[in-house]
Structure 1
């Protein structure tokens, strides 16, 4: 199970008063700040159970051990830290909050990309060698993927972007090991994208993933992983700061690509420039 699925399972257990682990699940969800600092013995004492019972709870969640449960709790806490809209805030506060969330997200993403320069360079090498490039994204994230596709199209790359499963499935099945598939997903857990990535893997297509810096299904399928950071929670109603982080990461890939042959790409950009008058 993914982190999200495990969290949902814990929530489900906590609501079922007849479940043997209901009390433990409720305690975990009610004491998120404490759990990540507690040993298994301390949790057993706090829930009036035993270490063996906690281990059975962990095993019931299909986790490898107590440490993995703590990791899930940390993930859950991070996913709750979002740029939430508070109705009592003034207009000025809303503007400042939105600004600070975006700046914080971009700052964290820039630090991550500095650490990932080697991966970006390797990805660019693959982009330049690929016969075909396919970019997969859904929902509002597709607008960012489409922007990236159009930028590469202008400098001569054979690149396509799709945002629906049907066309994505057709495209994924036409790719081979000479091509490259790029998946853009904030959570890394979008079901349609996971299915398409699995098709690409089956066809020996190399995969690049741009997603949030957590352990997720898409990142585990990638050959090139570019992580972004965002202070949006995973189960968000509206995408805000994550869009800026994704756009920033893709623009960095594009800028790095341009820098490898600036003269040639500048000529191509000038050639494909559409006159506005």
Structure 2
């Protein structure tokens, strides 16, 4: 795990990361795309961004995700998470976004792949897993590193407001415990 995290940090292009953070920060709505093991990563960043007041839309169903792509415009941004970068359906989503000139970030393995080629900003994770992945462990860890950096970057852009939203969200959730 430590080796995976180290390799992930070594692959980060700071300019691409900062541009990706700006894209998410300035988007009217952030749409998240990912299926299978990547849906866990999508769900994690979804709840984090929502809690700081960002307008974020995510659904694990690929058919629903495709309808998102159809309703987006240039003021929105997307984040596609796909370790292989060639997941059937997500490549189609990437093509629709590219054709509609919707800016999007991809998180994929370092190897050349269709999704990263189409993306506005491509963030890479190490290519460490075999074709038969036993639980997608290293790809999940490295993708979480990237999404956490995106989250921290967005949070930092408007720290006081996001801090207040996070506190309000925590207070709202704590009502459920009573």
TM-score (norm 2): 0.92
Question: Residue in 1 aligned with 2:78?
Answer: 181
Confirm or deny that 1:107 pairs with 2:11. no
Distance 1:234 1:105 in 2: 17
Question: Residue in 2 aligned with 1:58?
Answer: none
Higher relative contact order (CA 8 A, sep 6+): 2
Confirm or deny that 1:193 pairs with 2:123. no
Distance 1:197 1:250 in 2: 18
State how 1:118-137 maps to structure 2 within 5 Å. 118-137=15-34
Greater CA drift, 217-226 or 118-127 = 118-127
Aligned partner of residue 215 in structure 1, secondary structure? coil
Is the contact between residue 81 and residue 108 of structure 2 (CA under 8 Å) also seen in structure 1? yes
Aligned partner of residue 66 in structure 2, secondary structure? helix
Distance 1:142 1:219 in 2: 18
Q: For structure 2, list consecutive stretches of 5 or more residues without a partner in the other structure.
A: none
Distance 1:163 1:189 in 2: 17
Q: For structure 1, list consecutive stretches of 5 or more residues without a partner in the other structure.
A: 1-101
Question: Residue in 1 aligned with 2:44?
Answer: 147
Specify the structure having the higher radius of gyration (Cα). Answer: 1
Distance 1:234 1:131 in 2: 37
Is the contact between residue 162 and residue 168 of structure 1 (CA under 8 Å) also seen in structure 2? yes
Confirm or deny that 1:263 pairs with 2:157. no
Is the contact between residue 7 and residue 126 of structure 2 (CA under 8 Å) also seen in structure 1? yes
Superposition RMSD in Å = 1.4
Tell me the number of residue pairs that the alignment of Structure 1 and Structure 2 aligns. 174
Distance 2:97 2:65 in 1: 10
Distance 1:207 1:234 in 2: 26
Distance 1:207 1:260 in 2: 19
Is the contact between residue 106 and residue 229 of structure 1 (CA under 8 Å) also seen in structure 2? no
Is the contact between residue 206 and residue 223 of structure 1 (CA under 8 Å) also seen in structure 2? yes
Aligned partner of residue 78 in structure 2, secondary structure? strand
1:193-226 deviation line (CA, Å, top 9, x unaligned)? 0011111112221111011111111110110111
Confirm or deny that 1:164 pairs with 2:57. no
Question: Residue in 2 aligned with 1:61?
Answer: none
Runs of 4+ deviating beyond 2 Å: 162-165, 234-238
Question: Residue in 2 aligned with 1:272?
Answer: 169
